Amino acid sequence: MSQTPMMRALEVQALAPDLAGLALAERPMPQAGPGQALVRIEAAALGFPDLLMTEGLYQAKPPLPFVPGMEAAGEVIAAGEGSRWTPGDRVVIATITGSAMQYGAFADAALLPLPDGMGFAEGASLRAAYITAWTAIARLGRAEAGETLVVHGAAGGVGLAAVDLGKALGLRVIAVASSAEKRAAIARLYAPDHVLAGPTGLRDEILALTGGRGADLVYDPVGGDVFDEACRYTAFGGRLLVVGFAGGRIAEVRTNIPLIKGFSVVGVRAGEYGRRFPEHGREDVAAILKLAGEGRIRPHVHSAVPLADWREAYLAMRERRVIGRTVILPHG
């Protein structure tokens, strides 16, 4: 009687702080069902929601135990009945859980073609960050070439993607990051028009850089004091894009401020937007894949670590030492 093949996976076995509920585990090798493809996962990108999910602090709360990881890239090794994928296809994986393991069976709709010329680590880092940036800046922000975009948290995964995308769309990009090391890296990687220290005390600098007008778009994944300050320099007719609250404090704004100053506060939930408006969601994904295929955008991978070193990868992200994205290599 043949034994079921096993594989390695990272599991969240309990919801607990300080990564106490995570451990490496052996799991049965999955099989591709109808409309699914079995993928050998070569790289799994980490994001802040993955960290929150390990403590039960994210809106998605999968049953225990579960394999964390919302995005990955790999190669199709088998296809179920009716699948549109074939063995050998290189794919990007979009999921809620299940990327931090060696193999996964995914529905056809969860897979996208890996853009030509892009490695697995970059492909794993592409979808979530750049779709968030596209939905915020191009779709909801209605950005036009020549407008000024201020990106806060510009060294993080979603922030760095916004800097890269803003440049590709012909915007004047002002990146804001907390440390000299991060600012130097942003300037070297994507050459925004200006890189500022911030996060507060920016009003005078940005008004000076924009001839007194202010920013047409502000991309804010930080919240708190950053949002408060952004209300002071967003231009009349500008769009203040609320992407997240990584700073911890959820800011509040009195409605007379956007009324008198004439700007809009726009909430950005890229995944939910794509679910509610699937046609727009498909257009947005196609736009990102096209830009990536043309080499006009490219994710920055800070580091790629073997699955056995998962703890260091999570700690680097939690301690905000990562510039861009960190990926786990399940077969490393």
Q: pLDDT (tens digit, 9 = 90+) per residue, 120-153?
A: 999 999 999 999 999 999 999 999 999 999 999 9
Q: Using CA of residue 122, residue 127, residue 19, residue 314, what is the dihedral sign?
A: positive
Per-residue pLDDT for 312 more than 90? yes
Which pLDDT value is given to residue 320?
87
Contact 150, 215 (CB under 8 A): yes
Which pLDDT value is given to residue 118?
94
Angle at 290 between CA 273 and CA 279, to 5 degrees: 30
DSSP one-letter code for 155: T
Q: pLDDT-based confidence at 249, cuts 50/70/90?
A: confident
**Burial of 269 per CB tally in 10 Å (0-12, 13-18, 19+):** middle
Mean pLDDT of 241-253: 88
Which pLDDT value is given to residue 60?
87
Q: Where are the alpha helices (DSSP H) in 210-277?
A: 225-233, 256-261, 270-276
| Residue with more model confidence, 248 or 18 | 18
Dihedral, 217, 222, 224, 228 alpha carbons, nearest 10:
-20
Q: Establish how many alpha carbons lie within 13 A of residue 48's alpha carbon, considering only the half-sphere containing its beta carbon.
A: 20
Question: How far is the CA of 117 from the CAs of 3, 114, 131, 297, 317, in angstroms?
Answer: 38, 9, 19, 12, 27
Q: Where are the beta strands (DSSP E) in the chain?
A: 6-12, 22-28, 36-45, 71-79, 90-94, 103-107, 111-113, 148-151, 172-176, 194-196, 215-220, 234-242, 264-267, 301-306, 325-329
pLDDT tens, 157-180?
Answer: 999 999 999 999 999 999 999 899
Mean pLDDT of 197-226: 92
Containing 291, the helix (H) or strand (E) segment is helix 278-293
Residue whose token pair is 């090794």:
77
Q: What is the pTM for the complete model shown? A: 0.92
Rounded CA-CA distance 145/330 in Å is 40
Per-residue pLDDT for 7 more than 80? yes
Per-residue pLDDT for 263 more than 70? yes
Which pLDDT value is given to residue 2?
59
Which pLDDT value is given to residue 245?
85
Rounded CA-CA distance 60/81 in Å is 30
Per-residue pLDDT for 1 more than 60? no
Question: How far is the CA of 87 from the CAs of 35, 39, 75, 178, 331, in angstroms?
Answer: 14, 9, 7, 45, 18
Containing 209, the helix (H) or strand (E) segment is helix 203-209
Q: Which domains does the chain have, with CATH numbers?
A: 6-126+299-329 (3.90.180.10), 128-272 (3.40.50.720)
